[in-house]
Amino acid sequence: MGEFTFELNDDQKEVRDWLHGFAADVMRPAAAEWDEREETPWPIIQEAAKLGIYSLDFYAQQFFDPTGLGIPMTMEELFWGDAGIALSIVGTGLAAVGVLANGTEEQIGTWVPQMYGDATDVKVAAFCSSEPDAGSDVASMRTRAVYDEAKDEWVLNGTKTWATNGGIANVHVVVAVVDPELGSKGHASFIVPPNTPGLSQGQKFQKHGIRASHTAEVVLEDVRVPGSCLLGGKEKLDERLARAREKARSGSGERVKNAAMATFEASRPAVGAMAVGTARAAYEVALDYAGTRVQFGRPIIENQGVAFQLADMATQIDAARLLVWRASWMAVAGKPFTRAEGSMSKLYASEVAKSVTAQAIQILGGNGYTREYPVERMHRDAAIYTIFEGTSEIQRMVISRAIAK
């Protein structure tokens, strides 16, 4: 267990500076173009793969950083570069976390490498949980997985929505209902291998922000996957379902985690770090602008109204980062989120990103409202942080329940 510290070590600083250089030199110059095109920036993902940024080894190193700060540091720097391109680079990670959280060692070794491919043949993966009628309300999920014992296959039917890389992914991780009577406790996660018949892309969404990241529906029509594609294996699933049924019969209120929630809990501080990166980027643009924009004979930063806004923005960003770092350290140290610290970090950082990017536009005035300056795009991008992987309202619900115990 790493000792908690606010100071990055030399290796972490080296990685941070390396990522910052990639974000500044490769991502930022291309950000406006790919935002307008609303397409997956494959050339930039490939460049990231050549440098080793888009790779299983790199993310494994950051994931297993004993201080817990490797992943949030990575997310902050990449999303400082551009949120849409960054999400295209890191979106595979949610599917990988889904396998790491629920899969066996053999499944992890088999499928996670296929999610990334290599520098000469880049691949992406998709985590498919949300549905048209079941976003935050995972208990309302309708996608079914039925076991065909004679063939040792699972048959999946349903429609998933809001899936990053949905339909274009090499590997899809799909959360489905295996026992409807158990609600969210009757869910399981499945690997859908490449080129599996019956899986297709539905509607591709045209979004307000993060437009360089592909988001689409995934349609599953009699999709058959081998029994070995059930994450964790059938024996473990049967044991978990039996415990859930026994608790339901006995009226026990003990909480049983479902597959989707295990993934989201692990990823919430990382989303907070993404929000910090976007907020920091907008703040830096506003700070630079305020120092050079002259009105009434002096830089506008000398006006107290502008200076105080920037002071609040800087303070909020630092506070958000500290919440993210605390939650990330707690996770790697095995300390339970007894007060929903992971949700706290995601909630606060998300709200800060929306607020700071809006303030940046205000400081730039009319210029901030045009696409000639990046804060307009950053503000559009920031809106997603209060929505995906649990809305701000859901985070408040999780936190309120935790502190009421």
Q: Are 399 and 339 in contact (CB under 8 A)?
A: yes
Give the number of C-alpha atoms closer than 13 A to the C-alpha of residue 217, restricted to the C-beta side.
11
pLDDT in tens, 91-140: 999 899 899 889 999 999 999 999 999 999 999 999 999 999 876 666 78
Q: Are 353 and 279 in contact (CB under 8 A)?
A: yes
Q: CA 72, CA 360: separation in Å to the nearest integer?
A: 23
In this model, does residue 334 exceed pLDDT 60?
yes
Burial 343-371 (b: 16+ CB within 10 A, else e): bbbbbbbbbbbbbbbbbbbebbeeebeee
Least trusted range by pLDDT, from 11-25, 168-182, 260-274: 260-274
Q: What percentage of the chain reaches a pLDDT higher than 70? A: 94
pLDDT in tens, 162-183: 999 999 999 999 999 999 988 8
Short-list 254, 237, 349, 270, CA closest to 87: 270
Point out the residues that are catalytic: 389
How sure is the predictor about 256, in pLDDT bands with cuts at 50, 70 and 90? very low
In this model, does residue 255 exceed pLDDT 60?
no
The strand pair at 171-177 and 153-164 is best described as unpaired
Cα 351 to Cα 13, 137, 141, distances in angstroms: 27, 21, 28
Short-list 44, 40, 66, CA closest to 53: 44
Residues whose CB falls within 8 Å of the CB of residue 295, separated by 6 or more in sequence, listed in order? 303
Least trusted range by pLDDT, from 26-40, 172-186, 188-202, 207-221: 172-186
Least trusted range by pLDDT, from 284-288, 295-299, 346-350: 295-299
Residues whose CB falls within 8 Å of the CB of residue 402, separated by 6 or more in sequence, listed in order? 337, 338, 339, 340, 343
pLDDT value at residue 401: 94
Q: What are phi and psi of 27, to 5 degrees?
A: -75, -50
How sure is the predictor about 349, in pLDDT bands with cuts at 50, 70 and 90? very high
In this model, does residue 7 exceed pLDDT 70?
yes
The strand pair at 187-192 and 171-177 is best described as antiparallel
How sure is the predictor about 6, in pLDDT bands with cuts at 50, 70 and 90? confident
Q: Are 378 and 282 in contact (CB under 8 A)?
A: yes
In this model, does residue 262 exceed pLDDT 70?
no
pLDDT value at residue 247: 82
**Residue the block writes with tokens 């080129």:** 195
Residue 405 DSSP class: -
| Choice between 334 and 114, residue whose per-residue pLDDT is larger | 114
Q: CA 213, CA 114: separation in Å to the nearest integer?
A: 20
| Euclidean distance between the first and the last CA atom of the chain, given in angstroms as a whole number | 28
In this model, does residue 1 exceed pLDDT 60?
no
Residues whose CB falls within 8 Å of the CB of residue 399, separated by 6 or more in sequence, listed in order? 339, 340, 343, 344, 347
pLDDT value at residue 254: 46
Least trusted range by pLDDT, from 2-16, 85-99, 165-179, 307-321: 2-16
Q: What is the mean pLDDT of residues 207-224?
A: 98
Q: What is the mean pLDDT of residues 363-367?
A: 97
Which pTM does this prediction carry?
Answer: 0.92
Angle at 258 between CA 255 and CA 260, to 5 degrees: 140
Q: CA 128, CA 201: separation in Å to the nearest integer?
A: 12
Burial of 392 (0-12, 13-18, 19+ CB in 10 A): middle
Q: CA 145, CA 124: separation in Å to the nearest integer?
A: 24
pLDDT value at residue 257: 52
Q: CA 127, CA 102: separation in Å to the nearest integer?
A: 13
